[in-house]
Each structure stands twice: as structure tokens, then as C-alpha cells.
Amino acid sequence: MISTEELLNNHGVKPTPQRVVIADFVLSTHEHPTAEDVLKGVAGQLPVTISRATVYNTLNTLVAAGVIREVFTEPGACRYDANVSKHHHFVDTRTGRIFDIPWDEVPQLPRSLKGRFKVHGYEITFFGEAT
Amino acid sequence: MISTEELLNNHGVKPTPQRVVIADFVLSTHEHPTAEDVLKGVAGQLPVTISRATVYNTLNTLVAAGVIREVFTEPGACRYDANVSKHHHFVDTRTGRIFDIPWDEVPQLPRSLKGRFKVHGYEITFFGEAT
DNA sequence: TTCCATAGTTAGACTAAGTCTAAGTTATGG
DNA sequence: CCATAACTTAGACTTAGTCTAACTATGGAA
Ligand SMILES: [Mn+2]
Ligand SMILES: [Mn+2]
Ligand SMILES: [Zn+2]
Ligand SMILES: [Zn+2]
């Protein structure tokens, strides 16, 4: 298991204590936390308080560096995802929980639509009930 | 062409002047406007000022009644869509414009995933360049 | 007609997600 | 040791959206 410090270094992000704690939190859950979840989750993990600005700055930095990704399944807040490989999402409409769906569970979609739309990528959100 | 008053009546929504003006605005554009767009767009259409609260209330009422639908393609604000039939969306990544993609332009996706996820519905957002 | 109840609208206060700012702290290279 | 740059902090600010309390329109009873 590669350390979070190494991971951040490999992505060109200087591994400050705050960044390591924040990255650790997002990377070690499958819950697709919001920024607010992260803020609460990392509180008390360091002798200093981790400010709201640092949480948002760090999440944006980690997304830009490709360490994590954002996912928008519902309005209100964006969520963060440790899984940066191509995949889709399933939202359990009862609990609100979000599950990863591997890319190849789903048929490939066309790379061009109606002649005039050149597709660079797509995201599928499934809604339903998980068992 | 059925009148907006009739349309609202058919959906069980009392067609007040404010609601008619707001519904007309959303129904007569393909631009997928935000609530703020609607607020600006209907300003001055009536002798009274249409308040922010009425715009948001009316949009929510129209969505609940099935007259229009919401679409979330990016974080920040939700958009409103005159097209309530099943379809997908294409986001032009240069301009930000959103285009409707007919349901049957895209292959059907599975109704069950990995055994444990029963799919009730799905939404696909394509990203790319329109010509 | 008048009265009342209900539904709808309004301005503005309030909340929640996120950004920005200005000052303080922490590395780093010379 | 110092200068500079990078980072972090608290809190102000912005934006999207909801809530509140007062006001207005409507549609029957009486
Ligand atoms: Mn974001
Ligand atoms: Mn909404
Ligand atoms: Zn994911
Ligand atoms: Zn649409």
C-alpha cells in the first residue's frame, strides 16, 4: 500500500499535514462525501483546526491533480469520489447512498449523436433500489 | 396549439397570471434556463413585479405537476426543461449550452446491475462539442 | 352585497454551499 | 539567518434557494 504522502507527491501536490488528512479521509471511504462531510470528518485529526477554506482548497487541488474526482448526482452539494477510474453511479433513492458501477457493466454508448454532436465523454446516473 | 391556461388546468394547477407568464417563458425556450434566468426573463411581463419567491414556488409547482422538469448537469444551479418526455442531455463544453437527445438515440441500458441494484431509471449526460 | 376561508403573492430575512481576502504560519533555497 | 513563496486561517462575502409574515385575490356561504 502506497502512502498518501507518496500518492500526493506522485501527482505533484505537496503533502502538507492538512492535505494528507483530507486526502486520507476521502480515499478511505466509499460514501462519496460532500465537502461538509469532509470538514466534519477531519475535525480533530490535527493539533490545529482545519479551516473550511483549506478543505475546499484542498478538495479542488486534489480534483485538479486527478487524485479524486467530483460527482454531481443531486443539486445542493457536489460529492467527492476516491475512484478516479471511468465508472458510473447508482443512487439508492431510499437511502441516498451512491454506489460505483464499473464502466464495463454498461454497454458502450455512441461517440456521436444525430450527426451534429461529437461526444467526448458521458456520465450515467442510475436511480433505483439497492439490496 | 393548446393555451398555457388550459395546459395548467389539465395538470391541476390554477393558472394565475404569474404562473402563466412563468410557464410560457420556460415552455417557449430550448435554453434550459435557471430560476434566475426565468426571474429576469419574466420581469416586466406583468403590471406587478413577480417576486423571487413566486418564481421558485411556481417552478416547483410546475415540476411537481409534470408540466416541466428539472435537469442537473452541473453544480451551482438547477435548470428547467420544457421537454418532459424521456430524453437525455448533451452539454456543449465550449458554450455550456444544453441540447436534448431523444430517448431512442441511445441504446437501452440494463434494468439491473451486478445483481443487487434494481434500476428504476437513469439519466445520461453527454459532454462534447456541438457543430 | 357582505363575510369569510383559502389560496396565492410579495418583500425581505434567512440558510447553505462555496469563494475570496487579508493576515499569519510554514517550508525552502541562498 | 533571511527572504520569498507556498500554505493555512478566520471570517467576510456571494449565490442559489427557502421561509416568514403581511398583503391580495378568489370563490362560495349567509
Ligand atoms: Mn465543486
Ligand atoms: Mn430545485
Ligand atoms: Zn464513484
Ligand atoms: Zn431536456
User: Is the CB of B47 less than 7 A from some atom of nucleic acid strand C?
Assistant: no
For residue B18, the number of C-alpha atoms closer than 13 Å in the C-beta half-sphere is: 15
Strand pairing report for B87-92 and B98-102: antiparallel
| Strand spans (E) along B1-131 | 69-71, 79-81, 87-92, 98-102, 112-113, 117-130
Residues A41 and A19 in one domain: yes
Q: Which of B50, B66, B81 is at the close of a domain?
A: B81
Residues B102 and B60 in one domain: no
Question: Residue B125: its chain A contacts at CB < 8 A?
Answer: 122-123
Predicted confidence (pLDDT) per residue in A62-96, tens digit? 999 999 999 999 999 999 999 999 999 999 999 99
Q: What is the number of the ligand closest to the CA of B87?
A: 4
Residues B46 and B77 in one domain: yes
CA dist B87 to A89, A110, B5, Å? Answer: 18, 15, 26
Instruction: Give the helix/strand (H/E) hosting A89.
Output: strand A87-92
What chain A residue is nearest to B117 in terms of C-alpha separation? A130
Rounded mean pLDDT of B50-78?
96
Can you give the pLDDT at residue A30? 96
Residues A67 and A102 in one domain: no
Residues A54 and A93 in one domain: no
Rounded mean pLDDT of B7-19?
97
Q: Quick check: A75 and B78 CB within 8 A?
A: yes
CB atoms within 10 A of CB A28: 11
Least Cα separation, residue A112 to chain B (angstroms): 9
Contacts of A75 (CB under 8 A, 6+ apart): B70, B72, B75, B77, B78
Residue A98 CA to ligand 4 center (angstroms) comes to 24
Contact A38, A55 (CB under 8 A): yes
Does position A1 have pLDDT exceeding 90, yes or no?
no
Residues A26 and A71 in one domain: yes
Predicted confidence (pLDDT) per residue in A32-69, tens digit? 999 999 999 999 999 999 999 999 999 999 999 999 99
DSSP character for A2? -
Residues A42 and A104 in one domain: no
Residues B103 and B60 in one domain: no
Residues B77 and B15 in one domain: yes
Hey, is A129 helix, strand or coil? strand
Q: Which domain holds residue B107?
A: 87-128
Rounded mean pLDDT of B32-45?
97
DSSP character for B91? E
pLDDT band at B13 (very low <50, low <70, confident <90, very high): very high
Q: Quick check: B120 and A107 CB within 8 A?
A: no
Q: Which of B16, B21, B33 is nearest to B97 (CA)?
A: B33
Q: Mean pLDDT over all residues of chain B?
A: 96
Predicted confidence (pLDDT) per residue in B65-113, tens digit? 999 999 999 999 999 999 999 999 999 999 999 999 999 999 999 999 9
Give me the CA B53–C1' D21 separation in Å, rounded.
14
Rounded mean pLDDT of B115-125?
95
Q: Which of A107, A128, A30 is nearest to B116 (CA)?
A: A128
Q: Which of B101, B99, B89 is nearest to B130 (CA)?
A: B99
Question: Residue A106: its chain B contacts at CB < 8 A?
Answer: 109-110, 113
Can you give the pLDDT at residue A117? 97
- Predicted TM-score of the model (pTM): 0.91
Can you give the pLDDT at residue B20? 98
Q: How far apart are CA B68 and CA B59, in angstroms?
A: 8
The enclosing domain of B27 has a CATH number of 1.10.10.10
Give me the CA A61–C1' D2 separation in Å, rounded.
30
Q: Which of B66, B74, B68, B10 is nearest to B38 (CA)?
A: B68
Does position B1 have pLDDT exceeding 90, yes or no?
no
Residues B121 and B67 in one domain: no
The enclosing domain of B98 has a CATH number of 3.30.1490
Question: Residue A126: its chain B contacts at CB < 8 A?
Answer: 109, 113, 117, 119, 121-122
Residues A48 and A100 in one domain: no
Count of domains observed in chain B: 2
Residues A14 and A37 in one domain: yes
